[in-house]
Amino acid sequence: MAVEIKLPPVLEIIRGNIVKNGNPLALKGSEVAAWAKDLDLPSQGDLLFYTGGEYQLLPFIDSLVSTMTVMDQGSKVFSFMMGARNLINKTGINAEKIYASVLAKDRERFNSISYKAAVILQKLGYDLCYSGDKELYSGALLTELGFNIDMQTYALKVSKVFRESKAKTIVCLSPHAAEVLKYIYPKIVQDFKYDIKTFVELVWEKRSNLPQITLNKTVVIHDSCRLAREMEITEELRDILSSIGVSVQEAYSNREWTTCCGGPNKLLYPELSHTIAARRINELKETGADIILTSCPYCLAALLGGQTKDDSTIVEDLIEYLYRGFED
């Protein structure tokens, strides 16, 4: 007798939104691309700037997770809220997006990170193009959650947008996107021959052109699992900071031995995710550093969520930190 396996409701929602709408929370392309409106980036060029919408989506995802922690996913109320997403086909209304957006507090901050990253790369001499409201999420979650059949079809849609850009190189802000584009896409998409780079790598290549930052504050790096273990990018972060005169403290668990931020558990086990994030925050604070830096949207969101209300330690993305040097 076959056993029916039912996935948690939130996973079915995430999966459905990616496949049908191009990102986990069904945001419109114009909403995902709003950060770039003042930059006037061309739609075609050799170097494609790729956000995958990941920084932009995080506040909405975090708000949905906050709802999950206080609501029984098996309850009628939760089922109604999640089931209401079917209205999008008739009215364009997406219940979970609206609910999440009401609670989202950090939309402006996370949106600005994509903008700051583009400005930094331009200041370093890179000519960027951007797909604008056509940009689609990479589909990394489909792979990470085991929806491999969906991923095979979805990757073709994403690849079509890449082809339209005429790009030869794709620079990814998120290591999750970089990993899936570099290691998964070539296996499932014919002639996927782009040079996949991370933001960190491009900055590292021109680190001698970075302006000095004099904050008189020490820094500790939280190495992202994807960046450190899967892509083996660790020393580049330290070289970048060293080149601008920043003192770096090392956590006991660092580089490829980094401790998880708790982010991967957030959708299924939000309370466990918070516990893991809080533990990692404490590990990083034990170094005595004033600022915790990471280079992954999910790590940034998880670590911020792991802080206590009275914790004055600054948690930032590398992009935010480096941008200080270009503000004058």
What is the per-residue pLDDT across 4-57, written as a single tens digit (0 to 9) for each?
Answer: 556 666 677 778 888 988 988 778 888 899 999 999 999 999 999 999 999 988
Is residue 186 within 8 Å of 149, Cβ to Cβ? no
pLDDT of residue 307: 85
Q: So what's the pLDDT on residue 45?
A: 97
Decide if pLDDT at 254 tops 50. Answer: yes
Question: What would the pLDDT profile of 217-238 be if each residue is shown by its tens digit?
Answer: 899 999 999 998 989 999 999 9
Among the ranges given (73-77, 124-128, 159-163), the one the predictor scored with the smallest mean pLDDT: 73-77
- Here the tokens at position 308 are 């206590």
pLDDT for 59: 77
pLDDT confidence of residue 81 = 46
Q: According to the model, what pLDDT value does residue 60 have?
A: 74
CA-to-CA distance for 298 and 58, rounded, in angstroms?
7
User: Is the predicted pLDDT of residue 94 greater than 60, yes or no?
Assistant: no
Per-residue pLDDT at 5: 57
* 74-78, 171-175, 282-286: least confidently modelled range: 74-78
Q: What is the pTM of this model?
A: 0.87
Does position 100 have pLDDT exceeding 70, yes or no? Answer: no
**Angle of helix 297-306 relative to helix 270-285, nearest 10 degrees?**
80
The pLDDT mean for the chain works out to: 84
Q: What is the pLDDT of residue 54?
A: 92
Mean pLDDT over 258-285 rounds to 82
Q: What is the pLDDT of residue 272?
A: 80
Taking the mean position of all CA atoms in its chain, how far away is CA 163? 23
pLDDT at 8: 66
Does the structure show a pLDDT above 80 at 108? yes
Kindly tell me if the per-residue pLDDT of 64 is higher than 80. no
**Contact present, 287 and 251 (Cβ < 8 Å):** yes
Nearest partner of 272 among 91, 68, 128, judged by Cα: 68
pLDDT bin (cut points 50, 70, 90) of residue 96 is low
Q: DSSP E strands: which ranges in 68-190?
A: 128-129, 169-172
Q: Please give the Cα distance from 18 to 125 (Å, whole number).
A: 34
Residue 172 pairs in a beta bridge with 50, 198
pLDDT reported for residue 166: 97
d(C-alpha 236, C-alpha 251), whole Å:
17
Cα(92)–Cα(33) distance, rounded to whole angstroms? Answer: 19
User: Domain boundaries in the chain?
Assistant: 9-202, 206-326
Residue 101: per-residue pLDDT: 52
Which amino acid, one-letter code, is at 150?
Answer: D
The stretch 132-161 carries a mean pLDDT of 93
- For residue 294, give every residue at least 6 positions away whose Cβ sits within 8 Å of its Cβ, in sequence order, or none: 221, 222, 223, 224, 261, 300, 303, 315, 316, 317, 318
Number of helices (H), then strands (E), in the chain: 17, 8
Question: What is the average pLDDT across 59-77?
Answer: 57
Distance of alpha carbon 318 from alpha carbon 237, whole angstroms: 9
Check if the beta carbon of residue 302 is closer than 8 Å to that of residue 224. Answer: no
Looking at per-residue pLDDT, the higher value among 112 and 13 belongs to: 112
Task: Report the CATH number of the 206-326 domain.
Answer: 3.40.50.1860
Q: CA 281, CA 302: separation in Å to the nearest integer?
A: 10
Q: How confident is the model at residue 3 (pLDDT cuts 50, 70, 90)?
A: low
Structure letter (DSSP) for residue 295: S
Q: Which pLDDT band holds residue 66 (cuts at 50, 70, 90)?
A: low
What's the confidence (pLDDT) of residue 52?
Answer: 95
Q: Taking the alpha carbons of 120, 121, 122, 124 in that order, is the dihedral positive or negative?
A: positive
In percent, the amount of the chain with pLDDT more than 90 equals 54
117 in Cβ contact with 173 (< 8 Å):
yes
- Residue 209: partners with Cβ closer than 8 Å, 6 or more residues away: 124, 125
Instruction: Specify the pLDDT at position 9.
Output: 66
Taking residues 259-287, what's their average pLDDT? 82
The 314-317 sheet, strands edge to edge: 248-249, 219-221, 291-294, 314-317
CA 57/CA 111 separation, integer angstroms: 9
Sign of CA dihedral 40, 44, 47, 52: positive
**Residue 143 vs residue 11, higher pLDDT:** 143
R_g of the chain computed on alpha carbons: 20
**How many Å apart are CA 35 and CA 126, to the nearest integer?**
19
More confident residue, 190 or 309: 190
Question: How far apart are alpha carbons 328 and 326 in whole angstroms?
Answer: 6
